[in-house]
Amino acid sequence: MKRLLIYLVIMVFALQACGKAQEETHKTVQRPVIKNVKIETVKLEEIPELTMVTATVRSANTSLVSAKLMGTVSDIKVKTGQWVKKGDVLLTIYSPEIQARVSEAREALAQAQKGYEMAKRNLALMEKTYKRFSALYKEKAISEQEFDEIQTKYDVARLQLKKAEAALSMAKARVKEAEAYNAYTVIKSPVDGRVAEKKIDIGSMTLPGTPLFVIEEPRYRVEVPVDESLMDKIKPGMKLKVRIDAINIITEGIVEEISHQVDPVTRTFTVKLGLKGIKGLMGGQFARVIIPKGTKKLILVPEKAIVKRGQLTGVYVVDSNGIVTLRFIRTGKTVDSKVEVLSGLDPDERIVVDGVENVQDGGIIKG
């Protein structure tokens, strides 16, 4: 009897416990309601696949100015980086041999000029004498021998004038030649441009062919070595983005030249991009060029959807019941104000893209 009573008491307590458990399961969980947010469905987006290649700014045309004679640099008129115009004097060279050659040629010209003037006057005198003796000879006033002597002197005077003329012409030619060499002692810029490099100093010796200056013409372009696998991606006239850190600029370069010879060591070919209207460019500046490789599909979410928790990055994911959960993700690069998601999120999932400051983890979005 006692056992039956104990059993009945246990059954009563068990039934009461079950009733309370059922009450708890039927209670509704109270979640915070989230408002003023925007939800979007995650999709794969197709974007250009790009690669960044290092490049170098170079002048489209560079002139190497060299010496043409032996001598000593006596004066330098320009500095590296200075802009010059065609014909501007860059430096002067002192050459004692050329100076002596010019002096000798000019002295010889002066002597030849005197000889010519003397021969000219002598011929004029002999011509008058010849005419007078000719008239006397016709009148039988002088002998034939006397006339022949005068005629011979007249012929000699004409010959002497021709020789003097030839000597004068030769002397003029020598002066011209000497002055041409002397002009090489004054080095002038062959083009308008910037002095990119000065290769010599005052007092330095020069020989024919000694490099003096490098002059860059003010039209620049970017030379970029491109991997051979991208040869079919580059076309003449194509526009590529160029970044030049030295002048803090991002611009567009137009493909002007494409080398169709691949370097067997680097496995690259050279592409030359024209640049227009950019100030501050200098040969040798570092540049970077963005080259398209094709397209690829990525999961991209707006930057405003990103939630930071210490060193972790996440987004608020909304399930089919409107319940919001903070999910941590691994991100990649930023593309046009959107962040690449490498893992932690799948296409067709819904996330909060605006108003994340209004979201509570575990909250619910109604409607």
Residues 113 and 148 in one domain: yes
**The pLDDT of residue 23 is above 60:** no
Residue 179 maps to which CATH number?
1.10.287.470
Residues 114 and 156 in one domain: yes
28 — pLDDT class (breaks 50, 70, 90): low
Residues 100 and 119 in one domain: yes
* 114 inside domain: yes
Strands 62-66 and 89-94: unpaired
Calculate mean pLDDT across residues 150-176: 92
Q: What is the structure's pLDDT at 235?
A: 92
Q: How many CB atoms lie within 10 A of CB 302?
A: 16
Residues 209 and 280 in one domain: no
Residues 82 and 211 in one domain: yes
**The pLDDT of residue 21 is above 80:** no
d(CA 315, CA 344): 9
Domain extent at residue 274: 51-61+218-295
Residues 236 and 278 in one domain: yes
Average pLDDT of the chain to the nearest whole number: 88
Q: What is the pLDDT of residues 270-299, one digit of tens each?
A: 999 999 888 888 889 999 999 988 888 999
Three-state DSSP at 109 gives helix
Residues 225 and 204 in one domain: no
* 339 inside domain: no
**The pLDDT of residue 12 is above 70:** no
* 307 inside domain: no
**The pLDDT of residue 339 is above 60:** yes
Strands 193-198 and 211-216: antiparallel
What is the side-by-side strand order in the sheet with 89-94?
186-188, 89-94, 71-76, 205-206
Q: What is the structure's pLDDT at 122?
A: 92
* 241 inside domain: yes
**The pLDDT of residue 1 is above 50:** no
**The pLDDT of residue 11 is above 60:** no
Residue where one domain finishes, among candidates 269, 295, 321: 295
Residues 70 and 206 in one domain: yes
Which of the 8 DSSP states describes residue 33?
B
Residues 128 and 180 in one domain: yes
Residue where one domain finishes, among candidates 278, 295, 312: 295
Q: What is the structure's pLDDT at 3?
A: 53
Residues 71 and 208 in one domain: yes
* 42 inside domain: no
**The pLDDT of residue 10 is above 70:** no
Q: What is the structure's pLDDT at 367?
A: 64
Residue where one domain finishes, among candidates 275, 295, 315: 295
* 340 inside domain: no
**The pLDDT of residue 342 is above 50:** yes
Residues 205 and 241 in one domain: no
Q: What is the pLDDT of residues 91-113, one digit of tens each?
A: 999 998 888 899 999 999 999 99
Residues 141 and 210 in one domain: no
Number of domains within the chain:
3
**The pLDDT of residue 198 is above 90:** yes
Write out the two tokens for 176: 């011209």
Q: What is the structure's pLDDT at 29?
A: 64
* 122 inside domain: yes
Residue 283 maps to which CATH number?
2.40.30.170
**The pLDDT of residue 208 is above 50:** yes
Q: What is the structure's pLDDT at 58?
A: 93
**The pLDDT of residue 258 is above 50:** yes
Q: What is the structure's pLDDT at 170?
A: 95
* 300 inside domain: no
